[in-house]
Structure 1
Amino acid sequence: MKQEKAVVVFSGGQDSTTCLFWAMKQFKEVEAVTFDYNQRHRLEIDCAKQIADELGIKHHILDMSLLNQLAPNALTRDDIAVSDGEEGELPSTFVPGRNLLFLSFAGVLASQVGAKHIITGVCETDFSGYPDCRDIFIKSLNVTLNLSMDQPFVIHTPLMWMNKAEAWGMADELDVLEFVRNKTLTCYNGIMADGCGDCPACKLRRKGLDDYLSQKVKN
């Protein structure tokens, strides 16, 4: 039996799109929220809108441009190169406070639309070291959200303990692997589907897909 209403934090990328399809299976009613923080590639927002329109999902786009002012990084500045973290440092793509703010505002939206469930595609397995993708952060914020609004929200993280191959496996189980592969945007260089193939996001995505497809053939 499907549960009640949910809000999905939705970027139009592989992980959040997989989570959107997961939510559509789990909940009676689903709405999506995308945050506009003047990210490097506006195509990300267009992609999220196109997917929501195609699936008939009510889609909210919220202005979070203040985050761009406060947290300059490779996802908000053209003059900052995309690079992996070295010697224990975080990658240049880490946006300080992003998931804290996104999930907090998703909670406010959920309260307004009568949803008790919030879904996000964060993951502690293939997470590039981002501290705001960790399970302990999500659990802590869940408690804080509930206390701040005196409501029983539940934050769901379907991909938390999955690597990218397993995330592709979930998309396949939901019968949407080709949709996720061809209609999402994960690439840091703003190229749809399989992307540029060179940036860290594309390499992670491609390796996960290759690993999953090779496992599938063996089985």
Structure 2
Amino acid sequence: MKDEKAVVVFSGGQDSTTCLFWAMEQFAEVTAVTFDYNQRHLTEIESAKNITKELGVKHHILDMSLLNQLAPNALTRDEIEVKDGEDGGLPSTFVPGRNLLFMSFAGVLASQIGAKHIITGVSETDFSGYPDCRDMFVKSLNVTLNLSMDQNFAIHTPLMWLNKAEVWKLADELGAFDFVRIKTLTCYNGVIADGCGECPACVLRKKGLDDYLAERNELV
């Protein structure tokens, strides 16, 4: 795969940045694509810009503002509280159709630049319950993309079966641990690095970090 091109769906967060480093090891040419859907914190776009610039990765930002109009949720509306799902329901941060649209447009971009590989940081191990992060969805979409464009894309999900501690471990193995910890934005409240420490994304990130550091210290 070292002589092939890849597109990374990139938000500037922990997971997608780890995937970006993974892709840079796997492929000869990597392009990142970020989607602007008028998300709650434009810091996310700036984080993505800064990371790709520092790493020297070609970066596309695509306008997906229609998604904001169609799917009001805690990531697009300040007045909607960020909270986990209740009684088996989806979290308030779930954006219906987001990954379906993002991956479809990533496929269009990949087709235009001659890339056969698409990388996304979705996971159904330590995740928020989003249905469009599941392995079944990704495999189904991969077939649909290939049929829709008569292509032979391969969608890669390096984090699909990793919990957050294992994602930190992967970043460390890629030589990107400090970079990911300091320069990525995972926080729903728009605080870079270790975040606000209170929102669901920060709690999940910190638990994974603490678990991995405990494991790493045991090995020293």
* TM-score class, shorter: over 0.9
Three-state SS of the structure 1 residue aligned to 2:28 is strand
Q: Secondary structure at the match of 2:4?
A: strand
What are structure 1's unaligned runs of at least 5 residues? none
Q: Deviations over 1:8-45 (max 9, x none)?
A: 00000000000000000000000000000000000000
Q: CA deviation at 1:127?
A: 1.4
CA distance in 2, matches of 1:126, 1:99: 17
Map of 1:200-215 to 2, 5 A cutoff? 200-215=200-215
AA partner of residue 35 (structure 2): F
Corresponding letter in the other structure for 1:194 = D
Q: Counterpart of 1:34 in 2: which secondary structure? A: strand
Q: Secondary structure at the match of 1:30?
A: strand
Give the whole-Å Cα distance in 2 for the aligned partners of 1:172 and 1:59: 24
- Counterpart for residue 119 of structure 1: 119
Instruction: Describe the SS at the equivalent of 2:59.
Output: strand
AA aligned opposite 1:145: L
How does the TM-score come out when normalised to structure 1? 0.99
1:70-149 equivalent positions in 2, closer than 5 A: 70-149=70-149
Residue matched to 1:196: 196
1:172 equivalent to 2:181? Answer no
Q: Distance in 2 between matches of 1:181 and 1:212?
A: 13
What secondary structure is seen at the aligned counterpart in 2 of 1:47?
helix
Q: 2:72 is paired with a residue of what secondary structure?
A: coil
Counterparts of 1:129 and 1:192 in 2: how far apart (Å)?
23
Q: Distance in 1 between matches of 2:3 and 2:98?
A: 28
SS in 1 for 2:121: coil
Residue 31 of structure 2 is aligned to residue 31 of structure 1:
yes
| Alpha-carbon distance in 2 for matches of 1:94, 1:211 | 26
In structure 1, what is the equivalent of residue 22 of structure 2? 22
After the TM superposition, which residues 30-69 of structure 1 pair with which residues of structure 2 at under 5 Å, given as runs? 30-69=30-69
Amino acid at match of 1:104: S
Question: SS state of the match for residue 189, structure 1?
Answer: coil
3-state SS, counterpart of residue 104 of structure 1:
helix
Counterpart position of 1:9:
9
Q: Secondary structure at the match of 1:32?
A: strand
Residue 3 of structure 1 and its aligned partner are, at CA, apart by 4.3
Q: Does 1:184 align with 2:184?
A: yes
Q: Which residue of 2 aligns with 1:157?
A: 157
**In 1, Cα distance between equivalents of 2:99 and 2:127:** 13
Query: Aligned partner of 1:63: which letter?
Result: D
Q: Deviations over 1:81-129 (max 9, x none)?
A: 0000010000000000000000000000000011000000000101111
Flag structure 2 segments of 5+ consecutive residues without an equivalent.
none
TM-score (norm 2): 0.99
2-structure distance, mates of 1:50, 1:186:
15
Question: In 2, Cα distance between the equivalents of 1:218 and 1:24?
Answer: 30
In the alignment, the residues of structure 1 paired with residue 2 and residue 108 of structure 2 have an alpha-carbon distance, to the nearest angstrom, of 23
Describe the superposition over 1:114-172 as per-residue Cα deviations: whole angstroms up to 9, x where unpaired. 10000000001011110000000000000000000000000000000000000000000
SS at match of 2:62: strand
The alignment's C-alpha RMSD in Å is 0.6
